[in-house]
Structure 1
Amino acid sequence: MITTNAEARSWLETLPGYDAEAAERLECLVAMLAEENQRQNLVSAASLEQVWLRHIVDSAQLLTHVPRETHGPWYDLGTGAGFPGLVIAALRPECEVVMVESRARRIDWLERARIAMGLDRARIAGQRLELVESQRASVISARAFAPLERLLELSSRFSTGDTIWVLPKGRSAQQELQDLRKWRHVFHVEQSLTDPQAGIIVGKLTDRKG
């Protein structure tokens, strides 16, 4: 279990492909986040004290469940402040990352951060998920976006039998998976590396029942 900023930064160095340029992109994100958070409440002020643990590595750990050769498109639904979308794009700049966010101030923030970080393969889909044009995704992520059943209702149209879902669900992960009734899937819960009580739903969606 990773419990401090120092441990979080050390863990990042173990990721395949992590280099000085990736580190620079993340440093840029952390600096911009601290500044922007004074203008709009992107994340809780308290969480900024452990930003590398609570936001950077909490997002980056999703990459351990996705093959490195996956180049997207990676759809991050309800990106909000940019987690995990901006972190994924920073660590995999060759991957097409689509960040779906409908709130105007968040869209503006995401676009400014994307440009400052040099994320040319990333883009912001600045509208409600229901209005986003369907495209087959290689990966779908969503952090605190919607309950699992509702999330699948909204986004299954982006999924194929090969799409990998990586869904941080906190303490509710196991219960939400147990309560899932309408879908055929091969989901399971992985332990979060940053929170002993949190889980990540990982796997593939095969079909809807009925």
Structure 2
Amino acid sequence: MDATAYRGLLEEGLASLGVEAEPGGVEAVLLHLDLVREWNERMNLTAITDPREMVIKHALDAASGLAVAGVEPGQRVIDVGTGAGFPGVVWKCLRPGIDLTLLESLQKRCRFLEEVGQAVIGPLAGGEGYQVVWGRAEDVGRNPAHRERYDLVTARAVAELRVLAEYCLPLARVGGRFLAMKGPSVGEEILAAEAAVEKLGGRLEEVRELELPDGGGRRSLVLIRKERPTPKAYPRRAGVPAKSPL
């Protein structure tokens, strides 16, 4: 990717979203996108490979979450089902001070994310505050090392909202938040998820719709506050939330 050609597009897009990049952040995001394209030749990381589209539909889409759920240095963040590292790696590039965990169920993608940690996060943040966890959300959500440990839990287009809630809310601390990054039409999903969110200890706090820069499309960002501990029965065993949503 020609960093000079796409740096301006990324910087202008971030400005339009109201998201500031910390020093070195823009370069780190572009390097991450380069690695995604390189590794995509060996494994399925993304169907979007045009550099301009990657800036808009991966990097800027990921960054839009910071416009809604801005995070502070030292806060613990987990990206559930991160895939190629969207939005988590982009957040870490733009906010190096966060303590980021990337949760991914495919081991080969975890190897890619570990390479990103060395090549991108290492030079930017000394490799601090960056952890890759191989596992399923249903299992990790029952692990005391992760259950109710995070200030912010996020997931981008992994599943419908009531399923995502069971994956993600058990990981959020009481008082923490869960940000679901969804497509343009989310109203029916929110209605269908109300009972699940309540059962899991959450409350809908905000739904913000925004337009990605340069015709990138419309997005809905759903922010849920964790108000009570999640009952011990949740998350249910692996595969059950998707097959039988709350």
User: Corresponding residue for 1:205?
Assistant: 226
Q: TM-score, normalised by structure 1?
A: 0.86
User: Alignment partner of 1:138: what SS?
Assistant: strand
User: Alignment partner of 1:198: what SS?
Assistant: strand
* Further displaced range: 186-195 or 144-153: 186-195
Structure 1: distance between partners of 2:187 and 2:55: 26
Structure 2: distance between partners of 1:188 and 1:30: 30
Does residue 1:18 correspond to 2:31, yes or no?
Answer: no
User: Corresponding residue for 2:99?
Assistant: 96
User: Corresponding residue for 1:59?
Assistant: 62
User: Alignment partner of 2:157: what SS?
Assistant: coil
User: Alignment partner of 2:132: what SS?
Assistant: strand
**How many equivalent residue pairs?**
204
User: Corresponding residue for 1:125?
Assistant: 133
Q: Closer, same or farther in 2 for the Cα pair 1:139/1:27, shift >3 Å?
A: same
Structure 1: distance between partners of 2:10 and 2:30: 13
Q: Percent identity?
A: 24
Residue 72 of structure 1 and its aligned partner are, at CA, apart by 2.1
Structure 1: distance between partners of 2:88 and 2:139: 19
User: Alignment partner of 1:55: what SS?
Assistant: helix
Residue 70 of structure 1 and its aligned partner are, at CA, apart by 5.2
Contact 1:187 / 1:205 at 8 angstroms: preserved in 2? no
Which of 156, 177, 181 pairs up with 2:190? 177
Q: Which runs of 5+ in 2 are unaligned?
A: 1-5, 232-246
Structure 2: distance between partners of 1:47 and 1:202: 30
Residue 33 of structure 1 and its aligned partner are, at CA, apart by 1.2
User: Corresponding residue for 2:166?
Assistant: 153
Residue 47 of structure 1 and its aligned partner are, at CA, apart by 5.1
Contact 1:164 / 1:202 at 8 angstroms: preserved in 2? yes
User: Corresponding residue for 1:192?
Assistant: 210
Structure 2: distance between partners of 1:135 and 1:80: 22
Residue 174 of structure 1 and its aligned partner are, at CA, apart by 2.0
RMSD value, Cα: 2.3
- Bigger Rg, which one: 2
User: Corresponding residue for 1:112?
Assistant: 115
Residue 48 of structure 1 and its aligned partner are, at CA, apart by 4.1
